[in-house]
């Protein structure tokens, strides 16, 4: 079964068009000649963004990610957030052309399936069709442990309430996405709608439904969540996820 692209048509609402155009212009000006292509994912390119509630998610593909200075990138973000308060947050991921083409089940999946190209030539078109299989799911989660460990540490050490709230929301979403990846063979499609992800997990995963409901509730409203309690639940969820991946890997080895 082949994975289909999440967003087939770019439908940017009028409230965000100037913002997106200015982001592209400033990135190209700041990093002249170093940008191969720019992509978006999430609610803004889908046309479902909510003013003053939705954030903006960009991905920059270049020959050498080291050419993109994060401090200069951060300055662009700060300027645009002041100019366009309709956007709550700007996230930018940077990867190389080689990442996309040499890691089709990781970076290739991200660019080809999750994102849409808003500038340049879409390198995702060069990624071969992605077949849903245990091998794909295992490859897709190659860096999940590293990502989870990183955000776990950030949340554990955060002292600012705003940052705690942001990390809890992000951590919840990351774990829900990880759990959803386990049921891809059942659903046959990658969802980027968080409630559809949650429902599919509840339908196909054997995990305690209370854990999934807790994560979803934290994703929706994270400002009053107790950090210590959340981390305990997050660890329990990740333990389930890790065991499921290990079982999948062992099964693949025994039959391969």
Q: Are 230 and 166 in contact (CB under 8 A)?
A: no
Nearest to 41 by CA among 169, 191, 228, 145: 191
**Whether residue 253 has pLDDT greater than 70:** no
- Give the right CATH number for 138-255 from 1.10.3470, 3.30.70, 1.20.120, 2.60.40: 1.20.120
Number of residues assigned to the chain: 256
**Tokens 């091998």, located at residue:** 135
CATH superfamily for domain 14-131 = Beta Polymerase, domain 2 (3.30.460.10)
The answer, yes or no, to whether residue 19 has pLDDT greater than 60, is: yes
Domain ranges (residues) in the chain:
14-131, 138-255
pLDDT of residue 254: 54
For residue 255, what pLDDT is reported? 47
Give pLDDT tens digits for 149-204. 999 999 999 999 988 998 999 999 999 999 999 999 999 999 988 999 999 999 99
Q: What is the pLDDT of residues 204-215, one digit of tens each?
A: 999 999 999 999
Q: Are 198 and 212 in contact (CB under 8 A)?
A: yes
| pLDDT tens for each residue of 104-139 | 999 999 999 999 999 999 999 999 999 999 999 999
Task: Give the confidence band of 222 by pLDDT, cuts at 50, 70, 90.
Answer: confident
Q: Using the CB atoms, write b or e for 185-203: b if 16+ within 10 Å.
A: eebeebbbebeebbebbee
Task: Supply φ then ψ for residue 131, to 5 degrees.
Answer: -95, 130
């Amino acid at each position: 079964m082949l994975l289909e692209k999440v967003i087939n048509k770019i439908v940017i609402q009028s409230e965000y068009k100037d913002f997106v155009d200015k982001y592209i212009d400033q990135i190209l000006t700041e990093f002249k000649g170093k940008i191969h292509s720019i992509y978006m994912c999430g609610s803004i390119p889908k046309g479902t963004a909510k003013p003053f509630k939705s954030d903006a998610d960009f991905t920059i593909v270049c020959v050498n990610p080291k050419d993109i200075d994060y401090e200069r990138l951060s300055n662009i973000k700060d300027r645009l957030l002041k100019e366009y308060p309709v956007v709550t947050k700007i996230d930018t991921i940077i990867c190389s052309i080689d990442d996309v083409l040499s890691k089709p089940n990781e970076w290739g999946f991200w660019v080809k399936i999750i994102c849409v190209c808003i500038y340049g030539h879409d390198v995702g078109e060069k990624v071969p069709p992605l077949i849903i299989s245990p091998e794909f799911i295992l490859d897709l989660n190659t860096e999940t442990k590293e990502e989870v460990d990183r955000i776990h540490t950030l949340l554990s050490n955060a002292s600012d309430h705003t940052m705690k709230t942001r990390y809890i929301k992000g951590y919840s979403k990351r774990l829900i996405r990880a759990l959803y990846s386990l049921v891809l063979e059942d659903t046959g499609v990658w969802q980027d709608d968080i409630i559809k992800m949650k429902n599919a997990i509840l339908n196909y995963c054997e995990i305690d439904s209370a854990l999934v409901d807790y994560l979803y509730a934290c994703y929706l409203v994270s400002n009053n969540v107790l950090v210590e309690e959340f981390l305990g639940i997050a660890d329990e969820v990740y333990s389930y996820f890790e065991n499921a991946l290990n079982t999948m890997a062992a099964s693949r080895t025994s039959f391969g």
